A and B are shown apart, each in its own frame.
Chain A
């Protein structure tokens, strides 16, 4: 009897021999190398991919081209994501220096408020304070930021952000709380026409008068339909506007306003000025010692370019590079799990049929034949369409429909194996059926199992891709097939940077498994070597 140590040594030796043979097959090695790379990509996806493949919408413009596109085709210039503001959140007092602030009166003071803020503490406070009882007329404050827009082409989409929070002394009228000094807020973008004399044209203007306003005594947001009764330090989200190429209609400053502005607001390389203009209207007779403070936060301008990322973006502005990276996970997961399911079922069915023989064998094999005859893809389609497309259903259905061929092979191998003398010997010693199958037969067919596993993965990967491409994908995950579905649905086949990569990745991964399978086949079935 061999000792345990000898056994282990024997196993190690065999493994070494196997690896040495494997290292000699070029294709096998290439397959393993590719597989290792893709496994690493799949595992490191959260690190490698900057965005979530499904949820992160509009990280770039709609159907943006890749970042490198205009370097390849300089005749077709692109715009890139553009965010001129460096510290829009006013998180520290220095951030005020980013802006140029002009005011008309000493009644107005502009300072940094370190506590109040939208998401993070800190905001820009503009305070109008008049202790006297005579109105001081209109007083204005301009907060401007000059920036340079470098691109030849307009952006795909521009969003303006500004958060306002108004508090101040008030009076009651007809059950409404009104500001003593109403304030008019304008957002303006100017283009500097002449650099030296600073002549500007007003290319975008948005105005809103904050006067008839339901203002609780301590604090409020500017959303008129929401009355804040508690003293609050949290800001209620109040995006000023989100501007696309389409006109957007949305609640802005509490009222529905349609703004006609197109994405070519910034349409040529030039200096532009983004300006917030506050006009305090201290004109009506009122009590003495009045005050209105406007807190400004998240003063931002975000432009989405017509080019973004390594592979551009899809119809919802999602990063295709991230989708490709995350798609690796799905392909490998579906491929391996489905192939695993297929092989296990095929192994069990084939072993039972081959070992038991007789009527059971006949019955099992007829069912196998029947399933083998039914066309695979239509059945897959129908089943997934009926069960509902989620990832586990896909894996299960692909796996459950892929075992038949393997079961037949296993059966025929076992038919010959079970007549061998060593099985007879085991039977003579009194070994049970299960024992014989697991201890004596299984190790003899493991080589076949490995080969089949490697050869089944590609078809599972391609099947998943096909189903996803047909629209039967799990909405929560992004697979390579689904990327191509998006291409097809949006009639975007002309966008080669979007069409080529997913299919290429599917083919490479599938091919790597085929290579490994063939290499294993050659090593584990030495009979084949002369034929090839």
Chain B
């Protein structure tokens, strides 16, 4: 089987998976015990109001109509018609801002934790069996058993409440809402560069500073949550390669140990690392949900958290789909990447 067929096969599988997620998504909320109306009808509502709300969520339509509509909406990425039970506003209003916040959080912490974890993993593998190795492995195992939310709470306790170093909540200063009310609640961008049809805004220094200052604690927590996995993975894959003959050859040539480790070992050990970067996307999101909850960080994760508290099922459903979609796409990319990078892989 060639690369092309391999890609097509993975694409078909991913598409089936997306459909599966949609069906699952629909089934879960459809089979929910109790009447859906109870979730949003408040005491004291008049009959017409209730009817209007039922029409808003199309609960008067038969299940299959709603299902087809949902398939269409989700596949086309259209959340204008999806209303939150809590705010009774379309989900699309909040999605962009929250996505940006979550991306900042996840992106930064992933990069930091990858670099940190892989470096420590290489060191650990190099000194395998030693005291340092034992300590590092033990510490990464410990991060698996530390509840992330507790770590976040400890960080707030120490760095925010006791030391007053960092703020304990929100992705950016809360007073922006009032200071920059006329320009949309955020500091105006420093410049906008038009590229083609779209213009890309370069954020001002104030915005960057504010965001960085507020993101340090959550990013630190999420980094601690992830680095252990990277460390163990890097250690394992370096240990696989470190015994290969070409490594011995490199050493015999008299190369520096650091050069051997970083150029000869890590380069060849990095294949599983690259793919698992994509594969760990779902794991990362789990961490983000919890971290955002602790820090009231307005992103996807805290939206899920809020929706659970308010039983806001349309939001939960949409979030679940988007996250699953991201993970499926990331997996697809990982598969493709794997196939392209390593020609030895049997496409099967």
Which A residues contact B (CB, under 8 angstroms)?
366, 369-370, 373-379, 381-383, 385-388, 458-459, 462, 465-466, 469-472, 481, 484, 487-488, 493-494, 496, 499-500, 502-503, 506-507, 510-511, 514, 518, 531-532
B29 contact set on A, CB distance < 8 A? 386
A481 contact set on B, CB distance < 8 A? 147
- Residue of chain B at shortest CB distance from A379: B320
The reply on B328 being an interface residue by CB < 8 A is yes
CA distance in complex: A477, B160 (Å): 31
Say whether, besides A378-B285, A484-B153, A493-B161, A507 and B146 are in contact (CB < 8 Å). Answer: yes
* Structural contact, A511 and B141, CB atoms closer than 8 A: yes
Q: List B269-300 residues whose CB lies under 8 Å from chain A.
A: 282-283, 285-286, 289-290, 293-294
Q: List 13 A-B contacts (CB under 8 A).
A: A373-B324, A378-B304, A378-B324, A458-B145, A471-B309, A472-B308, A484-B150, A484-B153, A488-B153, A493-B153, A499-B150, A506-B147, A507-B142
Say whether, besides A382-B316, A484-B153, A494-B157, A514 and B141 are in contact (CB < 8 Å). Answer: yes
* Structural contact, A373 and B148, CB atoms closer than 8 A: no
Task: Tell me the minimal C-beta distance from A62 to chain B in angstroms.
Answer: 20
* Structural contact, A494 and B161, CB atoms closer than 8 A: yes
Q: Which of B144, B147, B239, B323 contacts A503 (CB 8 A)?
A: B147
Task: Tell me the minimal C-beta distance from A315 to chain B in angstroms.
Answer: 16
Q: Which of the 9-residue segments B13-21, B45-53, B173-181 touches chain A?
A: B13-21
Task: Tell me the minimal C-beta distance from B226 to chain A in angstroms.
Answer: 14
Q: Which of B289, B309, B328 contacts A373 (CB 8 A)?
A: B328
Q: Which of B21, B145, B316, B328 contacts A381 (CB 8 A)?
A: B316
A469 contact set on B, CB distance < 8 A? 147, 149, 290, 293
- Residue of chain B at shortest CB distance from A366: B13
CA distance in complex: A484, B154 (Å): 11
Q: List B2-33 residues whose CB lies under 8 Å from chain A.
A: 13, 16-17, 20-21, 24, 28-29, 31-33
* Structural contact, B324 and A499, CB atoms closer than 8 A: no
A471 contact set on B, CB distance < 8 A? 308-309
The reply on B264 being an interface residue by CB < 8 A is no
Task: Tell me the minimal C-beta distance from B136 to chain A in angstroms.
Answer: 13
* Most central of A381, A465, A511 by chain B CB within 10 Å: A381
B239 contact set on A, CB distance < 8 A? 531
* Structural contact, A382 and B153, CB atoms closer than 8 A: no
Task: Tell me the minimal C-beta distance from A502 to chain B in angstroms.
Answer: 7
A459 contact set on B, CB distance < 8 A? 144
Q: Which of B142, B150, B157, B311 contacts A385 (CB 8 A)?
A: B311
* Structural contact, B20 and A370, CB atoms closer than 8 A: yes
* Structural contact, B320 and A370, CB atoms closer than 8 A: no
CA distance in complex: A376, B285 (Å): 9
Q: List B104-160 residues whose CB lies under 8 Å from chain A.
A: 128-129, 141-142, 144-151, 153-154, 156-157
In order of increasing CB-CB distance, the 8 nearest A-B pairs are A503-B150, A510-B145, A377-B286, A375-B282, A511-B145, A386-B32, A494-B161, A465-B147
* Structural contact, A462 and B145, CB atoms closer than 8 A: yes
* Structural contact, A499 and B149, CB atoms closer than 8 A: no
The reply on B82 being an interface residue by CB < 8 A is no
* Structural contact, A375 and B324, CB atoms closer than 8 A: yes
Q: Which of B24, B128, B168, B305 contacts A470 (CB 8 A)?
A: B305
- Residue of chain B at shortest CB distance from A381: B308
CA distance in complex: A518, B316 (Å): 37
A382 contact set on B, CB distance < 8 A? 28, 316-317, 320
- Residue of chain B at shortest CB distance from A367: B20
CA distance in complex: A325, B160 (Å): 29
A381 contact set on B, CB distance < 8 A? 289, 304, 308, 316
Say whether, besides A374-B327, A462-B147, A506-B147, A487 and B305 are in contact (CB < 8 Å). Answer: no
The reply on B101 being an interface residue by CB < 8 A is no
* B interface: dominant SS: helix
Give the bracket for the number of chain B residues in contact with chain A.
35 or more
Task: Tell me the minimal C-beta distance from A495 to chain B in angstroms.
Answer: 9
The reply on B319 being an interface residue by CB < 8 A is yes
CA distance in complex: A499, B148 (Å): 13
Say whether, besides A385-B311, A503-B147, A532-B128, A374 and B293 are in contact (CB < 8 Å). Answer: no
The reply on B331 being an interface residue by CB < 8 A is yes
- Residue of chain A at shortest CB distance from B300: A378
* Structural contact, A510 and B324, CB atoms closer than 8 A: no
B156 contact set on A, CB distance < 8 A? 493
* Structural contact, B319 and A378, CB atoms closer than 8 A: yes
* Structural contact, A466 and B145, CB atoms closer than 8 A: no
CA distance in complex: A375, B327 (Å): 7
- Residue of chain B at shortest CB distance from A374: B324
* Structural contact, B32 and A507, CB atoms closer than 8 A: no
Given A378-B304, A386-B313, A507-B146, 6 more pairs with CB closer than 8 A: A375-B282, A385-B308, A471-B308, A507-B142, A511-B142, A511-B145
Task: Tell me the minimal C-beta distance from A205 to chain B in angstroms.
Answer: 41
B128 contact set on A, CB distance < 8 A? 531-532
Q: Which of B13, B33, B150 contacts A506 (CB 8 A)?
A: B150
- Residue of chain A at shortest CB distance from B29: A386
* Structural contact, A514 and B144, CB atoms closer than 8 A: yes
* Structural contact, B304 and A375, CB atoms closer than 8 A: no
A510 contact set on B, CB distance < 8 A? 144-145
Q: Which of A383, A458, A507 contacts B28 (CB 8 A)?
A: A383
B146 contact set on A, CB distance < 8 A? 503, 506-507
* Structural contact, A493 and B157, CB atoms closer than 8 A: yes
CA distance in complex: A383, B286 (Å): 15
B147 contact set on A, CB distance < 8 A? 462, 465-466, 469, 481, 484, 503, 506-507
Say whether, besides A503-B147, A506-B145, A487 and B153 are in contact (CB < 8 Å). Answer: yes
B313 contact set on A, CB distance < 8 A? 385-386
Task: Tell me the minimal C-beta distance from B342 to chain A in angstroms.
Answer: 19
* Most central of B148, B150, B313, B323 by chain A CB within 10 Å: B150
Q: Which of B16, B17, B157, B290 contacts A499 (CB 8 A)?
A: B157
CA distance in complex: A466, B293 (Å): 11
Q: Which of B151, B286, B317 contacts A375 (CB 8 A)?
A: B286
CA distance in complex: A466, B146 (Å): 11
* Most central of A376, A382, A493, A506 by chain B CB within 10 Å: A382
A466 contact set on B, CB distance < 8 A? 147-149, 290
Q: Which of A370, A377, A494 contacts B289 (CB 8 A)?
A: A377
- Residue of chain A at shortest CB distance from B294: A488
CA distance in complex: A494, B154 (Å): 9
- Residue of chain B at shortest CB distance from A487: B153
CA distance in complex: A388, B38 (Å): 14
CA distance in complex: A379, B157 (Å): 30
* Structural contact, B293 and A378, CB atoms closer than 8 A: no
- Residue of chain B at shortest CB distance from A485: B149
Task: Tell me the minimal C-beta distance from A484 to chain B in angstroms.
Answer: 6
B294 contact set on A, CB distance < 8 A? 488
Q: Which of B145, B168, B283, B324 contacts A507 (CB 8 A)?
A: B145
Say whether, besides A378-B304, A386-B29, A506-B147, A373 and B17 are in contact (CB < 8 Å). Answer: yes
- Residue of chain B at shortest CB distance from A504: B150
CA distance in complex: A379, B323 (Å): 10
Task: Tell me the minimal C-beta distance from B334 to chain A in angstroms.
Answer: 11
A377 contact set on B, CB distance < 8 A? 285-286, 289-290
Task: Tell me the minimal C-beta distance from A506 to chain B in angstroms.
Answer: 5
* Most central of B28, B146, B149, B313 by chain A CB within 10 Å: B149
CA distance in complex: A409, B104 (Å): 35
Task: Tell me the minimal C-beta distance from B14 to chain A in angstroms.
Answer: 9
B149 contact set on A, CB distance < 8 A? 465-466, 469, 484, 488
Task: Tell me the minimal C-beta distance from B115 to chain A in angstroms.
Answer: 24
CA distance in complex: A388, B32 (Å): 9
A500 contact set on B, CB distance < 8 A? 154
* Structural contact, A503 and B154, CB atoms closer than 8 A: yes
